[in-house]
Amino acid sequence: MPLQTQTEARSAVSMIDASIEQQVHAGRVRPGSSEARLLLAQARNVAYAQASQGRIGDGVALLCNALEMAPMSVDLLSDVGALLLASGQLGEAALYAHRAVELSPQHAPSLYTLGFALSGLGEIKAAIEVLTILGEGEALEMLRRDSPELLPIVDTELLRLRAA
């Protein structure tokens, strides 16, 4: 990536991060307000852009700061878990995904992250349980709607785990 683009990307992260810090600590944004939702959406977008450019740590840090504004946000918890899973930090990924699942037991992205993190940690029985939940009911419908390309991956992992 050209240096100018890297500088622009880091500048965007710094601006969003500073905005979140300022808004949260000054009490200017009410949780759940349209301003809060806009800041959180911007943070999520920038975090994934950072991750796509190989700067997963920057993305995770940004999302963790956003969690200060919305600590019960299932989407933010799930996003942090997904980025941590992508970076190989399985234990941390499982913790964030588990928190999201506690808040929303049928949240497909969180179940996916939790199931694969547990699998990677060698927690076979727990991984089977989580991925089985993902393959049923509301979670399955969410997965089909939002990420149908992941269905065969989940099925394959379940078969592998059951054979272990």
What CATH number should be reported for the domain holding residue 120? 1.25.40.10
pLDDT at 119 (0 to 100):
98
- Euclidean distance between CA atoms 119 and 20, whole angstroms: 34
- Which one is predicted more confidently, 123 or 67? 123
Model pLDDT for residues 46-103, shown as the tens digit of each residue: 888 888 888 889 989 989 988 888 899 999 999 999 999 999 999 999 999 999 999 9
- Euclidean distance between CA atoms 5 and 75, whole angstroms: 28
Q: Among 71, 91, 118, give the residue marking a domain's end.
A: 71
Q: What is the domain extent for residue 118?
A: 73-164
Cβ-proximal residues to 147 (8 Å cutoff; 6+ apart), any chain: 108, 109, 112
pLDDT-derived band at 6, boundaries 50, 70, 90: very low
Indicate if 31 and 41 belong to the same structural domain. Answer: yes
- Euclidean distance between CA atoms 54 and 60, whole angstroms: 12
User: Which segments of 53-107 does DSSP mark as H helices, in order?
Assistant: 56-69, 74-86, 90-103
Specify the DSSP class assigned to residue 148: G
Indicate if 22 and 88 belong to the same structural domain. Answer: no
pLDDT-derived band at 9, boundaries 50, 70, 90: very low
- The total domain count for the chain is 2
> What values do phi and psi take at 11, rounded to 5?
-65, -40
pLDDT-derived band at 131, boundaries 50, 70, 90: very high
For residues 83 and 60, the answer to whether their CB atoms sit within 8 Å is yes
Six token digits for residue 43: 């943070």
- On the question of pLDDT at 163 being above 60, the answer is yes
